[in-house]
Each structure stands twice: as structure tokens, then as C-alpha cells.
Amino acid sequence: MTETDKRDPARGNLIEAHINDEGYAGVRIAAYQLEGPYNFGRFLADVARHGALAYASTWSIEEGEALEQICAGLSDQLREQSSKVWAAEKGSLDS
């Protein structure tokens, strides 16, 4: 949590994600914190860039290559969606 988040109690995590014991993603999204799906897509792009940097520094690969692999995995997963997701509570998606 940043100093700004500590000062502003209305701010918090937009997204929380984990991999469960079965290997599936568990995701909670506080959609009320970011207006519009388009902006959420832009947020995910920022997350991908941060992920590329993290993978590059952890696994000694080029950041650009890491970003390409992240984008390829994202594209593949979006094309292969077969599981159902549901909203656990208003303003969030918990799957």
C-alpha cells in the first residue's frame, strides 16, 4: 500500500488475483473504483508491462520478449474461454 492509499481510505485494490490449488485463477475486481471497461483494459495493459519487467528481472530475459509472451498468453486465453465466471457481490467479479 502506498502512502497515498494510506491517506485515502476510499482507495484500495482494484484487482486481487491468485491461483488456487486446482490451478485455476481466483479473481476479485472492485469495478466501482475504475470507470468503464475500456479503462479496465488500459489498466490490464499497465499490469502486463509491470509483469514483463518482473519476468525480465527474475528470469533474465528481455523485457520486450517477456511482454510479447504475456500478450500471446493473454490472446490465447481470451480465445479459449470455456469456464463460467460470476459476480459474488455487486461491484465485483469473483471467479
- Note the pLDDT tens digit of each residue in 12-70: 788 999 998 988 888 888 888 889 999 999 999 999 999 999 999 999 999 999 999 99
Q: Is 50 exceeded by the pLDDT of residue 85?
A: yes
- Structure confidence at residue 58 (pLDDT): 97
- Bridge partner list, 26: 18
Q: How many domains does the chain have?
A: 1
Range of the domain at 73: 3-94
Q: Do residues 27 and 95 lie in contact, with contact meaning Cβ atoms separated by under 8 Å?
A: yes
Ramachandran category for residue 54: left, alpha or beta (phi over 0 → left; psi -120 to 50 → alpha)? alpha
